[in-house]
Structure 1
Amino acid sequence: MIGEMPYLLVTKGVWKVSEMPMLTRCLGPVIRSSGGNADDEWRHRFNVCDKLVKQLPPSAFFEQQMDPRVSEAEAIAFAFNQFKVSVNFTLKIFPEQAEQDTWTHMRPNTRNVIRRASEQLSVQEIRCAKDFVRFYDANLGVRQQRNMYGSSMMEGLLAEVIKRDAGKLLGCYGKDGQLQAAVAVVADNTALYYFLSSRKQDAHGGAVSLLIWTAIRLAHERQLVFDFDGISNQGILMFLSGFGGKLVRRFEIRRMRSDYSAFRKIHRNIKATVESAGNLLQRVKGGAPSAD
């Protein structure tokens, strides 16, 4: 075998769609190197990826977030098969950089936040997936939100992380022994990935920063890349960039049939109309005079 490409295909109503599975960080083609020079290698990767793409089953919608190791050669193979190729980014800290150098290259205010947090908090490993998920769900409940991944799925996955020593669950505890913040990091044989995080609303402002620094140190100990695993908005970029790291691109591919695109647009419009009507009804009820 010289190439493979995992995907998930599900039925939603009358539509066959392939989206990123829950709690899956990246997908994309995995292609064995040709062993040739640079010119031979990119042509090899293009040709193998082109053959993989042509074997994908028909679907109304297909979308994947690619691992950063997926190259431009694979990206252009998708583009020539009518996929839209876009670029987003992650930050990586490489193990060739000594831990002290990583600390030195961080922004001064990030270092200060971590120092202050370490004076008030202690970091301990959370050894039970159920405890992590219970804390995660409780913090969402306070914010009147729910676990979009599903509590049982998250617990099952994190239990396997612990069982296989494929990452760590880390918690920040106050002097009263109460858990204030927690992060989950997962690992493969090349990198440690920042995967999940949660904090109490009244947690120390540096709790998550202290946990991230602990995870970066763990990556250094294991001689692994530390991958922040994506940047969703400018605010997150400003926060994560305080830890240093190299900005790395990763591709996202998408293909949507025109009938499914029209359906999604109609569905969004109907949903917006219903929500608007519901909000109006709430306002009318709230302002209606009472009859005593």
Structure 2
Amino acid sequence: MSFIDVEMGGRVVSRFPFVMKKRLGSPVIRMPKYTRTLGPDFALPPSKTFRQEQNIRHVVDRTVASLPKYHGVHFYLDPDNASSFAFRLAGFRVYQDFTFRIMPEKTLDMAWQDCDQKTRNLIRTADKKLTVQQSGDVAPFIDLVRQELPQNHHDYALLEDLFTEARNRDQAMALYAHDGGVPVSAALLVWDDRVLYYWQAVRVRRSRVPGMNMLLIWKAIEEAKRRNLIFDFDGFGSVRTAKMLASFGQKPVIRPEIRFETPLYAMKCRLINVVRRHVLRKYRGYDLF
């Protein structure tokens, strides 16, 4: 992990953490594994809008100028990060990804009423059939992933280290849903002083209990409410998952995606995407780089 600090008036006003990886033989600046959002962490002095935006652009320009030589850049900004416009002006491409959030001021009852009726019914049904337990142990989660997803991109040692470190700071927990004592779904939650994230999840595909994922999400929402934190559904990996999360009744929240590629690196990426689509369809767990 590397950092770029920017100072103004003798004090640090921004820190940009990143990792440099080789991808397709090219140096690429990316987020560390298991990181969902990155971007400069600002500590700018309060000022009027024009001056604030000007300072952000200045910080981003200095950050970009301080980066090591790269052929590609790829990371996501937190929805509350105000630097996407500055990165666009600095020559980066800015796309829109999405997540869903529930703000602390929304009561648990209001969040429940926001849910689609079918979603509420599925949560009720799962709650009657399953027992959900909180835990500080990540090992059962890893065991369940190995059982259900033998081909995956997890780094179990890193996942365990990250969870344990966060747990030691009282910033992580695991949720396990059991059907007659047998684990059928699990989730890992992590949080800071503002946001609780639904970080990782896995389920037993052969289980016939409907709504078990939704139940764990709801239990995570309850935990966020108990801690008076924003609840972040933490994005989605498929259209099906996106529609399931949307059934909780929250508006999509933009999570800006920042990208840059040199022409050669862009050509490499296009080539590897073609190979993925047309050659390795039945080996979706295979990692090409």
SS in 2 for 1:2: strand
Counterpart CA distance in 2 for 1:246 and 1:10 is 34
Counterpart CA distance in 2 for 1:36 and 1:127 is 42
Counterpart CA distance in 1 for 2:26 and 2:87 is 22
Is 1:107 paired with 2:107? no
1:92-146 deviation per Cα after TM superposition (whole angstroms, max 9, x unaligned)? 00110111111122111111111111111111023322221111211113xxxx2
The residue that corresponds to 1:283 in the other structure is none
TM-score by length of 1: 0.86
The residue that corresponds to 2:36 in the other structure is 25
Is 1:62 paired with 2:73? yes
Q: Which amino acid aligns with 2:42?
A: I
The residue that corresponds to 2:149 in the other structure is 140
The residue that corresponds to 2:197 in the other structure is 193
| RMSD between aligned residues | 2.1
Q: 1:13 deviation in Å?
A: 6.7
Q: 1:40 deviation in Å?
A: 2.1
Q: For the Cα contact (< 8 Å) 1:88–1:251, is it kept in 2?
A: yes
Counterpart CA distance in 1 for 2:69 and 2:226 is 45
Is 1:126 paired with 2:117? no
Q: For the Cα contact (< 8 Å) 1:184–1:195, is it kept in 2?
A: yes
The residue that corresponds to 1:5 in the other structure is 16
The residue that corresponds to 2:45 in the other structure is 34
Correspondences of 1:64-103 after superposition (within 5 Å): 64-71=75-82, 74-103=83-112
The residue that corresponds to 1:290 in the other structure is none
Relative to 1, partners in 2 of residues 1:159 and 1:265: Cα closer, same or farther, differing over 3 Å? same
| Structure 2, gaps ≥5 residues long | 1-11, 284-289
The residue that corresponds to 2:286 in the other structure is none
Structure 1 window deviating more from structure 2 (16-25 vs 86-95): it is 16-25
Q: Which amino acid aligns with 2:125?
A: R
Q: For the Cα contact (< 8 Å) 1:171–1:179, is it kept in 2?
A: yes
SS in 2 for 1:7: strand
Relative to 1, partners in 2 of residues 1:221 and 1:59: Cα closer, same or farther, differing over 3 Å? same
Greater fraction of residues in helix: 1
The percentage of counterpart residues that share the same residue type is: 29
SS in 2 for 1:6: strand
Q: 1:275 deviation in Å?
A: 5.2
The residue that corresponds to 1:281 in the other structure is none
| Structure 1, gaps ≥5 residues long | 279-292
Q: For the Cα contact (< 8 Å) 1:16–1:60, is it kept in 2?
A: yes
Q: For the Cα contact (< 8 Å) 1:93–1:244, is it kept in 2?
A: no
Correspondences of 1:178-257 after superposition (within 5 Å): 178-203=182-207, 204-257=209-262
SS in 2 for 1:57: coil
Counterpart CA distance in 1 for 2:227 and 2:193 is 10
Counterpart CA distance in 2 for 1:109 and 1:263 is 45
- Which of 6, 10, 27 is matched with 1:16 structurally? 27
Bigger Rg, structure 1 or 2 = 1
The number of residues matched between the two structures is 270
